[in-house]
Structures are given as C-alpha cells and as structure tokens.
Amino acid sequence: MVGVVREREERDDRATFTDLKKARKEDCTPMMRGFNKVASPSQNAERILKMFRDQKGVNIGTAVDLYEHGLQTATRAYRDGCDEETVVVALLHDLGEVWSPINHGEIVASLLRPYISPQNYWVLVHHELFQAYYYQDAFELKEKNSRDRFKDSPHWKACETFCEKYDSPAFDPEYDSLPLEHFEPMVVRIFNRKPYVASKSGESWLILDSEVNKAKLTLAEAYPSPEELEAA
C-alpha cells in the first residue's frame, strides 16, 4: 500500500505532457525536481567517481591497473602544483580506455567539457596521440611524431607537458599515489560549476570556443542552478 501511494505521489510530481511539443510552464518545476533527484551535480560527480572506482583491477597489460594509473597521474599533477581542474583531468583522463581505446580521451573530454577550459578539453581529446610519441619506436608505428600534426595549436605545449610529466611516467608500482579520497572533493567541485562557465583561481569565464558551446550555454540557462535546485 505504501508503495502504491508513493508511486502515485511520484506520478503527481511529474510533467504531464506526452509529447515535448506540448510542454507547458507548469511542467518546469516537476522536471527540475526530477532532474535534481537523479542528476544533480553532486550525483553526477559520484557517478563519474564510480566509473573511476570500476577501473580497479582493469589492467591493459602494464605494471599498474587503470585505477592506480589515474591516481598516479593525478598525484603527479597535484604535487607539481597544477590547478584543481587539471588535477581532476589527470585523475579521469583514461576513464574511457577500455570502452574505446582508439579515442578514449574523447569520452571523458565530452563528460567534462561543460566544466573545464578549452585547453584541458583539447589535452584530453589529443592525449593518446601525444602518448604515442613515447612508444612509437617500440611498437613500430608507421607514422612517427603524429602529435606534430597539431604543432600550430595553442594547446600543444600543455598536452606535451601533461604527457611528459604526469601521464607517461604513471605506470610505476612503487610510486606513493595519494588515495582517491584526496581527489573526490575536487571532482565534486568541478561538477558543481555552472556549465560552460569555467573557473580557475577564483576567476570565471565562458567557454565559448565553438559554436556548439555557445549554443549549449543558452540551453544550460534552462537548467536550474544549484541554488534553484535546493529551493525547489
């Protein structure tokens, strides 16, 4: 009985349209609440952290598993004085590794795109090409230095630094990585940023480096702010 009542209450708390074309102003509040229940910024952060935890024991044939590789990349970035956003990018950079190895950087780049700088987005998308620089001879790749196709990009140096200092050396089982708990609040803060408005060192700016981001910024305005969600 309790279950039936709860189900009815939940149904009453939903938008009533059966076709999005018929959505009305009154549908906004239940939809806002619905989103908040399942996709609040903190829940999304927890969801991505769960994906990260799932990398424990997933090994691509290296001395450490993907979980340790992520922790180690993030710890190296953190100890080198990188800003919080870059540390989070380092932690999560290989999240898509076994979903689609050939373009795995694009997977997490897409998940983080509304919350990170164009430069860090670029680093994520391109990092596997830059990593190839280190194994191209061992694996006898046909094309050497493919990273140099992108030499004219203003983000080339940042990606080279990321791979050289943090990603490439992060396969060392003897390294004393910081635990995931150290990075969890950082991930939560990144996901609590206003979408398409990045913020580093207390300064905010709009991520308007492409038409699609400009358009999605206007779409983001339809989503409730964390304050609105709390009040709803």
Would you tell me which residues interact with Fe ion (CB under 5 A)?
A: 94, 128, 167
* 41 token code pair: 């910024």
Is 85 or 167 the residue whose CB approaches Fe ion more closely? 167
Q: Which amino acid is at 161?
A: T
d(CA 225, CA 175): 40
Is 41 or 105 the residue whose CB approaches Fe ion more closely? 105
Is 173 or 208 the residue whose CB approaches Fe ion more closely? 173
Is 68 or 94 the residue whose CB approaches Fe ion more closely? 94
Is 29 or 62 the residue whose CB approaches Fe ion more closely? 62
Closest distance of CB 32 from Fe ion, Å: 36
Closest distance of CB 168 from Fe ion, Å: 8
- Beta strand segments in the chain, E: 197-200, 203-206
Nearest to 121 by CA among 108, 134, 130, 103: 108
Is 68 or 167 the residue whose CB approaches Fe ion more closely? 167
Which string of b and e fits 124-161 if b means at least 16 CB within 10 Å?
Answer: bbbbbbbbbbeebeeeeeeeeebbeeeeeeebbebbbb
- Strands 203-206 vs 197-200: parallel, antiparallel or unpaired: antiparallel
Helix (H, G, I), strand (E, B) or coil at 37: helix
Closest distance of CB 124 from Fe ion, Å: 9
Give the C-alpha distances (Å, rounded to integers) separating 49 from 53, 92, 132, 142, 204.
6, 9, 27, 36, 25
Is 120 or 213 the residue whose CB approaches Fe ion more closely? 120
Residue 74: CB partners within 8 Å, gap ≥ 6? 87, 88, 90, 91, 166, 177, 178, 183
Closest distance of CB 70 from Fe ion, Å: 8
d(CA 160, CA 121): 14
Closest distance of CB 151 from Fe ion, Å: 20
Closest distance of CB 180 from Fe ion, Å: 16
Closest distance of CB 163 from Fe ion, Å: 8
